[in-house]
Structure 1
Amino acid sequence: MLWFLFCVAALLGGYFIYGAFVEKVFGIKEQRQTPAYAKQDGVDFVPMSKKKVYLIQLLNIAGVGPIFGPIMGALYGPAAMLWIVVGCIFAGATHDYFSGMLSVRNGGASVPALSGRYLGKSARHFMNIFAIVLLLLVGVVFVSAPAGMLTNLINDQAGISLGLGTMVSIIFVYYIIATIVPIDKIIGRFYPLFGALLIFMSVGLITAVAFSSEHQVMGSFEVSQMFTNMNPNDLPLWPALFITIACGAISGFHATQSPLMARCVENEKNGRFVFYGAMIGEGVIALIWCAIALSFFNSMEGLQAAVASGGPGKVVYDASFGLLGVFGGILAFLGVVILPITSGDTAFRSSRLILAEYFNLSQKPVKNRLMIALPIFIIGGILTQVDFGVIWRYFGFANQTTAVMMLWTATAYLLRNDKFHWITTVPAMFMTTVVVTFILNSSTLGFGLPMTISTVAGVVTTLVITGLLIAKLKGIGEDDLDEELDEITKLNSAKEA
């Protein structure tokens, strides 16, 4: 229990201490008008209160990542919680803050536009493709996962024989509606309530574990095991853990979601609470589910057996009903199911906005929204037929690669403005090494090279990228970028005319 409480305290301390430092380095301007007012359109650019935007941001970025990832990461032992804390404070929350605040500074721009502005046109084209692919994978994952969980719940508790395809169709219909309507009609109205439910249920579950006579929070682990790889399948910690636990520590998917709320933030001073704070909140949720996974089954073998029999969804189901009974279990389980649904619809919404931005197509008319959204949903529907395990593996790699691009984008911004760039450069270097090593070493997704060769190649690649970027961008101000942006604006205006 002490290890868990220490980790939670470290996250909260990170928000107040390191979060304030990150905010100072960025340099907020409270008098500057935000896109919520400058571009207010009643559809995507809508001013909302700080608390409401925070809760929506928390739901948008959460999904099943901070639950499924930490449950799978728990198979490595309590050391997984250390990565959640360190990754969240120094990488994930910093990544989310810059993806949100750079969007605020650039008129609510999406991550491909930000990459293009600070890293160049090639980065923009790459990110346009990569972000759409990632969001499609996220949308598919966040259809399949909640559909399977809801189907099991209804069939087990109500005794109704409901097919998985029926639930997938129901969720897709909801996604289409939520993606098309103005952001304050469904997302702005109901998601803050869902966010409160999520927090309440997460706290309820960990409290139930703490006061349980049968299960104690990590009670079976010794202090000496806190930094030990305990994976029962002898899987190496490096680099798999840093891909497995993504959303609870650092996730590129968040870079695609933060611009949604950047279009609704009322003042730049709210950025730390909304963007950095929501990631800290997600980190706490990840810690709770990692601790539950390590505690509820009383042994690593018990956890492994549960995962093997039904995946992380089985762990959620067993823990929810085992700790809170039928009524409480249903509420807790629904609180978990809400996460992927409320991230899946915003994933498709982000896809629509990124494509609209790329093609310079106004989203005020409903027909324009449908023109972009419907093809996306057709492709997403086709992808739901692919094996979930395959989709999840590709999602994990694409997710962390997007995080790498966003971190380098933030580094480029800081370099161009002669600010302390190491707060994003160091996590960018670490995550670049992780993804390069992973793709070179993986036999299922990558090249199947030996771990030593893959790691050395990852380190060398990272050092080369870092050296080239610092040498190219150090001291180059944003004035040069503004001239290029003016030219792009003129071209877009001429195309629109």
Structure 2
Amino acid sequence: MISFFICLCLLIAGYFTYGKLVDSTFGPDDRETPAVSINDGVDYVVLPQWKLFLVQLLNIAGLGPIFGALQGALWGPIVFLWITFGTIFAGGVHDYFSGMLSERNNGESIAEVTGKYLGKTMKNIMRVFSVVLLVMVGTVFAVGPAGLIVQLLANKGVTGAFANTAVWLAIILTYYFIATFISIDKIIGKIYPIFGICLIIMAIGVVIGLPLNGFHTPELWDHFYNMHPKTTPIWSFMFITVACGAISGFHSTQSPIMARCLKSERQGHFVFYGAMVAEGCIALVWAAAGCSLYAADGGLNTGLQEALAAGQSAAIYDVCVKTMGSVGVVLAMLGVVACPITSGDTAFRSARLTLSDWLKIEQESFTNRLKLCVPLLGCGAFLGFGNSLGIFSYAVIWRYFSWTNQTLAMLVLWSGAMYLVREKKNYWVCAVPATFMSAVSATYFSMAPECLGLIPVFTNNKTFAYPFGIIVAICFLALFLKAAKKYNPNQHMNMNHAGAAHA
């Protein structure tokens, strides 16, 4: 497990070094935060820093760093590199800027924030994009736990109504409605820290259980090649599949929730960058478990592929049993069930806030909150029950979520880069990962079966997709540099003053 622990140490060191560089580049100060100046007792509420961290961790975690990392392990230990360096140089930067830019703009949702730096057209695109993504995330994080609970009960011999996925899906969606509707400190602020601790303990239990139960984690330098049984390309499929454990646009929709609860800007490094590093560590643990527990055949991870084919719930349960036995599995499964549920409810909550910012509907009123909660949860129920009835495929919803997720991350990073241009600061901390993610998203879109790959000639066509992704990334970078060169902060400021005077 030498390569695993090296990557783990790099992640932790990255928080104290590169994370601090990112924080100093942004430059937090002692200005009054939205939680203090706006405090409405519903969404703008001051929370202590330790709660902010644990709530943010659960908000962004979900099934991503668990199931996504297990799927990523199909490519072998090489996935450790993406989780490690993706978290430090991309995911942490993305989460920090999405949170701090929201905080600097009165806690506005990410669509509104992006519009300020990328223009009105992008704002409208992001509004639709964000709401659709959040509803898909909420649905995914309702269907997954429902299936996992049924799997647990089936293993205990439970039958009847409570062994039905649809029943648990209805229960979870009902909880989502309540959590989306009421004040953030009533449920989320009280129970999330408990589940956050369970999630961390669960990861520790898995990583300790691997060597104690005689499982060997393959070293990166001995398996520096593609171990995927279907020979699915590493670029860019692995970078899309392992999203939440490295960089995820979904996080940018969650960060404004905590941006509305910061007492001080100086908490941003720990809350936003720190939570992303913690998630990277969790993803690293589950990726190591996927590489360690299942036999490889001919240098390919066929054993893991078979485990995943039985369903994500079964695969997660299997990992927990093999690493922690009957005692530890109780705590582990609690974390795995609670983790996606606590991301699903905040996904719908964030969708409500995005719509409220978009439509200018204040949220102190019960009636106004109901106007948004009912249609949002209705859409989630339609997709969720459609999956349980076989109308929609969970796997297809997840794949579309994965691509839209990373595309959103790309756009948020470009927004951060434009903010730094305006502030005359080192914009490369955002521009470099933004360029990289532009290549990832464009490459995947041009060859994936659920995107342009629907057309047979483009399906997994690396000859076309690889150059296309690189060209798109270069074009985006060129457009950004052109905009950065033309931008005149003094002129922009004078225009704002002139507009204000005219108004």
Instruction: Report if TM-score (shorter chain) is over 0.5.
Output: yes
Shift of 1:476: 2.9
Paired letter, 1:194: F
Shift of 1:484: 6.0
Give the Cα separation in 2 of the matches to 1:363 and 1:241: 40
Contact between 2:151 and 2:313, CA under 8 Å: does it hold in 1?
no
When normalised by structure 2's length, the TM-score is 0.93
1:477 partnered with 2:489: yes
Partner residue in 1 for 2:375: 375
1:201 partnered with 2:207: no
1:399 partnered with 2:398: no
Q: Which of 229, 233, 250 is the aligned partner of 1:253?
A: 250
Structure 1 residues 425 and 241: CA distance shift in structure 2, 3 A: same
Contact between 1:417 and 1:478, CA under 8 Å: does it hold in 2?
no
Give the Cα separation in 1 of the matches to 2:35 and 2:373: 23
Matches within 5 A, 1:280-295: 280-295=277-292
Contact between 1:179 and 1:349, CA under 8 Å: does it hold in 2?
yes
Contact between 1:118 and 1:409, CA under 8 Å: does it hold in 2?
yes
Cα deviation 1:22-48 (Å, max 9, x = unaligned) = 01111111x211111011010000001
Partner residue in 2 for 1:168: 169
Tell me the secondary structure at the aligned position of residue 234 of structure 2: coil
Matches within 5 A, 1:80-119: 80-119=79-118
When normalised by structure 1's length, the TM-score is 0.94
Cα deviation 1:32-90 (Å, max 9, x = unaligned) = 11111011010000001111100000000000000011100100000001100010000
Partner residue in 2 for 1:63: 62
Name the stretch that deviates more: 139-148 or 442-451: 442-451
Structure 1 residues 431 and 263: CA distance shift in structure 2, 3 A: same
Give the Cα separation in 1 of the matches to 2:282 and 2:57: 10
Structure 2 residue ranges without an equivalent (≥5): 387-391
Cα deviation 1:353-411 (Å, max 9, x = unaligned) = 00001111110011110111100111111111121111111101110011011011001
Partner residue in 1 for 2:271: 274
Paired letter, 2:441: V
Tell me the secondary structure at the aligned position of residue 235 of structure 1: coil
Name the stretch that deviates more: 17-26 or 149-158: 149-158
Tell me the secondary structure at the aligned position of residue 36 of structure 1: helix
Give the Cα separation in 2 of the matches to 1:112 and 1:483: 24
Tell me the secondary structure at the aligned position of residue 363 of structure 2: coil
Partner residue in 2 for 1:495: none
Shift of 1:478: 8.0
RMSD of equivalent CA atoms = 1.8
Partner residue in 2 for 1:362: 362
Give the Cα separation in 2 of the matches to 1:478 and 1:69: 45
Partner residue in 1 for 2:464: 453
Give the Cα separation in 2 of the matches to 1:347 and 1:120: 25
1:463 partnered with 2:474: yes
Give the Cα separation in 1 of the matches to 2:491 and 2:103: 18
Paired letter, 1:88: T
Identity of aligned residues (%): 43
Paired letter, 1:398: T
Shift of 1:457: 1.7
Tell me the secondary structure at the aligned position of residue 41 of structure 1: coil
Contact between 2:2 and 2:219, CA under 8 Å: does it hold in 1?
no
Structure 1 residues 3 and 422: CA distance shift in structure 2, 3 A: same
Partner residue in 2 for 1:39: 38
Tell me the secondary structure at the aligned position of residue 175 of structure 1: helix
Partner residue in 1 for 2:344: 344
Shift of 1:159: 2.1
Matches within 5 A, 1:304-343: 304-308=305-309, 310-343=310-343
Contact between 2:99 and 2:272, CA under 8 Å: does it hold in 1?
yes
Shift of 1:460: 1.5
Question: Aligned residue pairs: how many?
Answer: 484
Shift of 1:327: 3.2
Tell me the secondary structure at the aligned position of residue 28 of structure 1: coil
Tell me the secondary structure at the aligned position of residue 231 of structure 1: coil
Tell me the secondary structure at the aligned position of residue 281 of structure 1: helix
Paired letter, 1:454: A
Structure 1 residue ranges without an equivalent (≥5): 492-497
Contact between 1:293 and 1:315, CA under 8 Å: does it hold in 2?
no
Name the stretch that deviates more: 322-331 or 477-486: 477-486
Cα deviation 1:139-183 (Å, max 9, x = unaligned) = 110011011001111122142332111000000000000000100
Partner residue in 1 for 2:389: none
Paired letter, 1:419: K
Give the Cα separation in 1 of the matches to 2:205 and 2:104: 38
Structure 1 residues 348 and 479: CA distance shift in structure 2, 3 A: farther
1:236 partnered with 2:233: yes
